Amino acid sequence: GESVGLHLPTLSVQEGDNSIINCAYSNSASDYFIWYKQESGKGPQFIIDIRSNMDKRQGQRVTVLLNKTVKHLSLQIAATQPGDSAVYFCAENFMNRDDKIIFGKGTRLHILP
């Protein structure tokens, strides 16, 4: 669903450990999904995307998993670093229509030294 001013949940992870950030999306017709990272004082930046014909996609240190059966998306970050501290948003879109992209609520990732 859309984020409408709720305080963000926080995930605290030890530096060097792997992080898993979860997201539930709302529209079963959505066929394109994106993860964004937002650092303090900046606009969100693209991390990785995945189309609905895939269930896994890997980038540099990041992996996105898609489970369409339960409408669930996750972002895995390997060997987290201090620079990974940020707010992470998932987003969904139905590309075959001119629908807007819908953002999830966001999760704040806090890296412990």
Binding site for another protein (CB under 8 A): 2-8, 32, 34, 36, 42-46, 49, 51, 89, 91, 93, 95, 98, 100-106
Closest to another protein by CB, 17 vs 99, is 99
How does strand 10-14 pair with strand 107-112? Answer: parallel
First to last CA, the chain: 33
The CB-of-61 to another protein minimum distance in angstroms stands at 19
| Greatest C-alpha distance within the chain | 45
Closest to another protein by CB, 31 vs 61, is 31
- The CA angle 89-93-96, to the nearest 5 degrees, is 165
Closest to another protein by CB, 65 vs 103, is 103
Distance of CA 106 to the CA centre of its chain: 8
- Using CA atoms, how far residue 36 sits from 18, 19, 69, 113, in Å, is 18, 15, 23, 23
Closest to another protein by CB, 3 vs 27, is 3
The CB-of-91 to another protein minimum distance in angstroms stands at 8
The CB-of-109 to another protein minimum distance in angstroms stands at 14
